[in-house]
């Protein structure tokens, strides 16, 4: 079974721009969670989607948004980029039927904001 | 609220056992996980334990859970240089609602294995 894939792997943007990251979950998994990883704050939960609906959201500003498609692929968007948005963005997929299903992570998208 | 703490560094010699410790505060934690992250990579799920268990063994990995003290440990037997990585513990609950899809992670323990 193929693992979680994320595209692109690397991105360089400038302040004020917006960016869209993509995540394809493991086949059959319906839940996709997104995390931001930075050296200062560690791993922080952004949001989770299940069957095209956002079920949970972390404490991030509204500039961070996401969506999920009928094939369970998910995208996250960051608008009006700030320097502090530079991070590794990880998505994770799980079957999603229970809150505590184990999550399987993709390799991440490294975003650099200049 | 949820908080997960880990020691930041651990250095061991190849062939020795490694023990990585983690404490958590959320008494409603249901599942506790150990993930491994190698440089430039995502997180690899190593193992997990349900909160009504005390111990789980999986090949070279042994997880111990002391629910009273909210203390979790990961023991790696016969540690190899390929085990050098960052190890994260994480917790989640079965509460539904704000727990869906959300793992709360510790800050990670950097394990260095010397030949």
Does B108 lie at the interface with A, CB-CB under 8 angstroms? Answer: yes
Over residues A62-83, the pLDDT tens digits come to 999 999 999 999 999 999 999 9
Q: How far are the Cα atoms of A42, A49, A76, B36 from residue A69, in angstroms, in the given order?
A: 28, 10, 12, 29
Polymer length of chain B: 115
* Cis peptide leading into residue A8 (ω within 30°): yes
pLDDT band at B52 (very low <50, low <70, confident <90, very high): confident
CB-closest option in A31, A105, A107 to B101: A31
Asked if B101 lies within 8 A of A104 by C-beta distance, the reply is no
Q: Tell me how close the Cα of A14 comes to any Cα of chain B, in angstroms.
A: 22
Q: A31 touching B, CB under 8 A?
A: yes
Task: Enumerate the residues of chain B whose CB falls inside 8 A of the CB of residue A68.
Answer: none
Provide the pLDDT for residue B96.
63
Mean pLDDT of B42-53: 92
Q: Which residues of A15-45 are buried (b: 16+ CB within 10 A; e: fewer)?
A: eeeebebebbbbeebbbbbbbbbeeeeebbb
CA A75 to chain centre: 7
Chain A, chain B: beta-carbon pairs less than 8 Å apart: 79
Q: How distant is the Cα of A108 from the closest Cα of chain B, in angstroms?
A: 6
The yes-or-no verdict on residue B51 having pLDDT over 90 is no
**Residue of chain B minimizing CA distance to A107:** B42
Residue A19 forms contact with B (CB below 8 Å):
no
């Amino acid at each position: 079974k193929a693992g979680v894939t994320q595209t692109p792997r690397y991105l360089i943007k400038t302040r004020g721009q917006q960016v869209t990251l993509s995540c394809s979950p493991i086949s059959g998994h319906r839940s996709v969670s997104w995390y931001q990883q930075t050296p200062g704050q560690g791993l922080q939960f952004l949001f989770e989607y299940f069957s095209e609906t956002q079920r949970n959201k972390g404490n991030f500003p509204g500039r961070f948004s996401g969506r999920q498609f009928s094939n369970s692929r998910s995208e996250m968007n960051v608008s009006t980029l700030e320097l502090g948005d530079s991070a590794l963005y990880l998505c994770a997929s799980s079957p999603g039927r229970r809150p505590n299903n184990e999550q399987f992570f993709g390799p991440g998208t490294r975003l650099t904001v200049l | 609220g949820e908080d997960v703490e880990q020691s930041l560094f651990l250095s061991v010699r190849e062939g020795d056992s490694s023990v990585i410790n983690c404490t958590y505060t959320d008494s409603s934690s249901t599942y506790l996980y150990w993930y491994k992250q190698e440089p430039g990579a995502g997180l690899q799920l190593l193992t997990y334990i349900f909160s009504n268990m005390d111990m789980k063994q999986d090949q070279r990995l042994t997880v111990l859970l002391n629910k009273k003290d909210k203390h979790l440990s990961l023991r790696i037997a016969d540690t190899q240089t390929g085990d050098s990585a960052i190890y994260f513990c994480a917790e989640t609950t079965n509460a539904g609602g704000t727990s869906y899809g959300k793992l709360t992670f510790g800050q990670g323990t950097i394990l260095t294995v010397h030949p």
